[in-house]
């Protein structure tokens, strides 16, 4: 692939920022070139310039989504940042149960924003189901969203290799996963129906209008804000906080902080905030 000119890099960066809010600064140029090279091979296009014109055309709308898929990095595994799940079951869940009962309701709603390949929402589901008294009596649902159609397909398949499950306790692995064999005889783990039935996977660009009402008791938005500049972070946090119940919790990644941002949430502990 021919080198990406500075002008074209700025054009791609502006497009990604305008549509997704992701900030592809100068240090991300080599990343963009690598992701572009894959899409050029896949589409048979001759140059980044030709590809850029194509994704802006009416015929290139589907490829535009694939391009956004390619530039949004996704790395995750089950029980990543485990202190969040400890907090969820020891503090947030009892408060959710008490709040619902006081309202004469059985409703519990959690949003996994930027759910990637599904490990986070499935971990949330396991954590809640394991610690909820008589879970079948509760109207418990998780909304799991991501901008990438590619990772959502993986999440909906719900089949993972052994490495992804290294932090899943054996008791949970046997209860919530079905052992399969891959084409080469390798061990694969498929999520069980009791996890699937409480999760809805949907494509969502966090910058777009939200096609739901909420409210949510908890929002996980971990390792998502790092891709946005300060202005976009503030806009998104304020927007998402509107969909959080009073007293609800907002989780960000441990490498992230809302310090220095204008937002309506109260700091509880590192990477945990409350409305």
Q: Which positions are annotated as active-site residues?
A: 35, 146
Phi, psi (deg, nearest 5) at residue 160: -130, 150
Provide the β-strand partners of residue 142.
Answer: 110, 199
DSSP 3-state assignment of 213? coil
What is the DSSP secondary structure assignment for residue 225, as one 8-state letter? G
What is the rounded distance in angstroms from the CA atom of residue 40 to the CA atom of residue 38? 5
Q: How far apart are alpha carbons 242 and 219 in whole angstroms?
A: 11
Residues 6+ apart with CB under 8 A from 187: 161, 162, 179, 180, 181
Secondary structure (DSSP) of 181-206: E-TTS-EEEEE-HHHHTTEEEEE--T
User: Residue 231: in which H helix or E strand, if any?
Assistant: helix 230-241
């Amino acid at each position: 692939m021919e080198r990406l000119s500075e002008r074209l890099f700025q054009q791609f960066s502006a497009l990604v920022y305008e549509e997704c809010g992701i900030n592809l600064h100068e240090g991300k140029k080599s990343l963009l070139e690598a992701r572009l090279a894959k899409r050029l091979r896949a589409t048979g296009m001759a140059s980044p310039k030709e590809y850029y014109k194509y994704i802006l055309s009416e015929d290139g709308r589907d490829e535009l989504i694939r391009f956004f898929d390619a530039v949004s990095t996704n790395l995750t595994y089950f029980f990543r940042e485990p202190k969040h799940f400890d907090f969820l079951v020891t503090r947030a869940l009892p408060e959710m149960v008490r709040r619902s009962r006081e309202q004469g309701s059985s409703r519990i709603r959690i949003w996994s924003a930027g759910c990637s390949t599904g490990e986070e929402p499935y971990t949330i589901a396991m954590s809640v189901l394991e610690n909820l008294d008589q879970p079948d009596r509760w109207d418990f649902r998780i909304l799991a969203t991501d901008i990438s159609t590619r990772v959502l397909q993986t999440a909906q398949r719900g089949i993972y290799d052994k490495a992804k499950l290294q932090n899943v306790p054996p008791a949970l692995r046997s209860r919530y996963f079905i052992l399969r064999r891959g084409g080469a005889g390798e061990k694969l783990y498929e999520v069980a129906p009791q996890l699937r039935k409480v999760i809805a996977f949907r494509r969502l660009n966090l910058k777009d209008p939200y096609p739901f009402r909420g409210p949510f008791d908890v929002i996980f938005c971990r390792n998502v804000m790092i891709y946005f500049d300060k202005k976009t972070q503030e806009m998104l946090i304020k927007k998402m906080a509107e969909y959080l119940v009073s007293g609800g919790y907002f989780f960000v990644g441990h490498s992230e902080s809302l310090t220095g941002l204008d937002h309506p949430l109260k700091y509880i502990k590192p990477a945990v905030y409350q409305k």
